[in-house]
Chains A and B, each alone.
Chain A
């Protein structure tokens, strides 16, 4: 009885909190402009021509839309399709298209654009990236002017998820050649002006299919590479929003300003210490276990990141639906690390190179702490910083390295552990089987179970050290509402952003 009362009480409290939260959020109002900071010029603006995360950060949901999309919580919601259904054998997916949608150039959106998109997405010569997302699609057809049918060769549980990704956005048929420089989509904002190295300006699209949105008249994304300059621009009132990855040491400074506020959200980034599993000494699982035991992840998050992150134990973040906490697999235990190293024949210690990617301060900082922690168990780490182009070429594509560290920010990317050519040089056939099982799973529970099994295998094998998932910290001016705090996919979606009147 008492228990019931407690639940009831907390329920009432929660409702009260919710109500007061609503009371504090003013009703959306139209008008105004917004200036947002981004950190780099992307390689063109077409998310289907490059996997650079800088592209969707600006255009996802703002300029481009697909059949479905992620909302701010990571739920898949309708976009250019209003409804969809799947056949009982999970092999036929039918989507009903939204009517009266037009592209920014005035041409109407229709089935031809969808057909052309998925033809490109499956044509190896088209330059469309991430074609593996569409591998299970055998045929795409349009039985009438507002219906699209996907026929699959095998059940594909992640189809809907993949259709919500930035890779699956739809633009006018035949416009692929010009989208990198002049993006044209169906989103609430049209691409107005890009000054390389300076800013990109989006303006309200008057014919957007949802007449309520967007609230803002225009949005300017200012390109400011230096985090200190970004902070100064925010403090000086030049910009209104830093939409992602505010460094933890800036949070207190920003919160101290009366007109600024930070919000801590989640992201799908795993800060990963990657090891070359094919190369000695990392081909010995005891060495990989020892390295995991030697790293005090909590000390890193508390000491170097002001506690703004979640310690993880496998290639998964709490922001993903199949998350499982495996941080106890090989917990921090320097004694055990030394013993395992001795067992592996490195009682006298060992030495290898640890290369940090130049453009990523979180990774560099984490790497520096880890090098120190490894030295404490007798591992002599040669730290060096590598420039980004070199990192991609030699380490990522060439797998010519000992140890490196990088944030893997793509959601649902555990499939990389099935690929023996991936730069970890791991590749496990059992994982490929489990991935296939997950895709063909008759229920969501069985799908999740298969993913969690993969997560366990790679954690047990100590393939890499998954250190933590950094909080996604957003900094905004007071009076700004509707900003995405979590990053279920890399995006600064400003569709529902407004200024309080």
Chain B
């Protein structure tokens, strides 16, 4: 177990460093000069080269990457070119919102999808089953940004119940903050729930067809016990995999949702950083995204052993 843990941890670290190198190279590969973007289109060549020097852009790229890595080891992510603030502080400001959004959406999706998925798996062959399957099909096909605009139209413009985007900040109080986050969480979570309903249903149907379920039924166990103790427990490995994937999905999906709802989260920070060729900021945000995804898959892997003792780590 310990050896497995160390091995996975090392793999995770290597993945993160590789991701940062790939992103560094990718940002360099697209044309665009941060100094030109900051100074604007009428800047003189003198002013451009002066700003490049000031921003440290005259240093060769490989050297810049190594400097960045060295800083990373010390916990220093550098300074944003656009905002002239420490990348760590900028990113730290945005993390709570993006985490709240992603966790909220994943939680909503799970709480909605697992019961509905179980329910329809048990009602297989009834009229309800194809209806839910159809609904989830549609739900999975609707893009989250479109759903977001629709929710804004209904709940903000027509009913005037919730703000049409923007974020008052956590200091405005939990109520105000969650009022601003409710629609984005719905927009992001509902589509995810639709996908998860189908997966839960399929996983459970698969397990329900197994011999031990038939045996459990033959022993005379009640339906509740068969489903929740025998079937669902064994479908858990699949479900946790789905949950891990969906957390990753909502984390990525939040980039678009933050744009639609004008939320100051990591996704918008990343987009504006890429647009402005703000190299240190892009690196910092991507590092965080990569670490989160690697961490999530790491946790999912660990949970397998706990959920299913047959999965042994050597």
Interface residues of A (CB under 8 A from B): 40-41, 43-44, 49-53, 124-125, 127-132, 180-181, 195-199, 222-226, 228-229, 232-233, 235-238, 359, 387-390, 392-394, 396-397, 410
Contacts and interface: CB of A to CB of B under 8 A. Distances in A.
Given A224-B165, A225-B262, A388-B275, A393 B36 contact: yes
B192 to A, nearest CB: 21
A288 B232 CA distance: 71
Contact of A232 (B30, B36, B46, B157): B157
B82 interface: yes
B160 A232 contact: no
Contacts of B276: 43, 389
B92 to A, nearest CB: 12
B165 A44 contact: no
A236 B157 contact: yes
Nearest to A398: B31
Please name the 8 residue pairs, one residue from A and one from B, whose CB atoms are nearest each other, closest first: A389-B32, A51-B40, A198-B264, A197-B264, A236-B156, A236-B164, A232-B164, A224-B262
A229 B83 contact: no
A72 to B, nearest CB: 24
Contacts of A389: 30-33, 37, 275-277
Given A127-B51, A229-B152, A236 B163 contact: yes
Query: Among the interface residues A44, A50, A124, A229, which one has the most CB atoms of the partner chain B within 10 A?
Result: A229
Interface in B64-89: 82-85
Chief secondary structure at chain A's binding surface: loop
B39 A238 contact: no
Nearest to B44: A131
Contacts of B40: 43, 50-53, 129
Contacts of A181: 83-85
B126 interface: no
Contacts of B157: 232, 235-236
B121 interface: no
Given A196-B93, A226-B262, A238 B42 contact: no
A394 B54 contact: no
Interface residues of B, number: 49
Contact of A392 (B33, B83, B163): B33
Contacts of B165: 224, 229, 232-233, 238
Contacts of A44: 38, 82-84
Contacts of B90: 196
A392 B32 contact: yes
A127 B261 contact: no
Contacts of B149: 228-229, 232
B41 interface: yes
A127 B46 CA distance: 8
Given A232-B157, A233-B166, A389-B277, A223 B41 contact: no
Contacts of A223: 262
B38 A43 contact: yes
Give the residue among B51, B153, B156, B165 with the most A Cβ atoms within 10 A: B165
Interface in B258-286: 259-262, 264-265, 268-269, 272, 275-277
A255 B90 CA distance: 39
B43 interface: yes
A262 to B, nearest CB: 17
Question: Residue among B31, B38, B163, B277 with the most chain A CB within 10 A?
Answer: B31
Interface in B92-139: 93-94
A41 B272 contact: yes
A141 to B, nearest CB: 26
A388 B164 CA distance: 27
17 contacts: A40-B272, A41-B83, A44-B82, A127-B54, A197-B268, A224-B166, A224-B262, A238-B164, A387-B275, A388-B275, A389-B275, A389-B277, A392-B36, A393-B31, A393-B32, A394-B31, A410-B42
B31 A198 contact: no
Nearest to B155: A236
B13 interface: no
B47 interface: yes
A226 B93 CA distance: 22
Contacts of A41: 82-83, 272
B62 interface: no
B289 interface: no
Central interface residue in A130, A195, A238, by most chain B CB within 10 Å: A238
Contacts of A238: 156, 163-166
A387 B169 contact: no
